Amino acid sequence: MTIPSRTGEMARRLVAQPRRFVVVESVVLTLLIGLLDVATGAELSFSIFYLLPITLVAWSMERPWALGNAVMASITWLAADQLSGSVYSNPLLPYWNASIRLGYFVLFAVLFGRLRQTLERERTLSRNDPLTGLYNRRAFEELATRDVERASRYGRPISIAFIDLDHFKETNDQFGHDAGDALLRQVALTLVASLRSTDVVARMGGDEYAIVMPETVEDHARIALEKTRAVLAQRMTEHGWPVTFSIGVVSTTGEAASLPALLAAADRLMYEAKRAGRDRMVVAQYATMRGD
């Protein structure tokens, strides 16, 4: 492991702590810096080090907490300045300096907090479909690859489903793109609500969705997805959308299978469902398909 990766891991662990720990650590760190400021006397300035606890809070918590820490850091600096014996030509100068530092600390807390929000937003956009909120293809492949490799390594069952919406284009043309977007969001909400929290659901693009179901044998996948398809059909009827669902499901247990191979198999089964008349589901074992 390289030094940068170790540093990044330490930073992630630090900010992942419970809030009360972050607050206590920031207060203790601010006070320790203040004590060090007093101990080194007036000739050495430690102002920049007060940014450490401010950074910790701004990265881990909401803005009011970061602003509160900025105020505490300014007051601590002022107290340290007074205790270290600093001499000024005007008694108001230390308060002026403290005000300037407060403005600097507040500005840093706000900007650093915005940086965190921007990075979080970019991370979300890089992994989630902006329309439905589901995982996108990139995130799905990352998570699904992990599940497939674990199933293969430990001989555990896993099922992968590929879903395509029948007549979506016609529905989109008839009701408009806003209705089409609402339909896609409704499908996403229904899939998430109908399936387990351990199942990975993603929008692969257009009107196609994929699902990875860890620890799920063929029969259990069939039952769960038939129930899901029934709920989807009910939602379409409620909204007056003439859309049905063609689903291909491939299952395997402990075989040396890659995610691309399993996805391709599920895709083939989905097209079999379409050729058989749409609005149906085709399920098969991966071993059987490999033997074709």
Residue positions annotated with a catalytic role: 207
CA–CA separation, 132 and 280 (whole Å): 24
CA–CA separation, 183 and 236 (whole Å): 8
Amino acid at 7: T
Amino acid at 68: G
282 is written with which tokens? 């085709």
245: β partners: 165
Backbone CA torsion sign across 222, 218, 195, 184: negative
157: β partners: 253
Amino acid at 15: V
CB-based contacts of 172: which residues, under 8 Å, 6+ apart? 179, 180, 183
CA dihedral 282, 248, 161, 203 (to 10 degrees): -150
Q: Which of 262, 18, 284, 280 is nearest to 166 (CA)?
A: 280
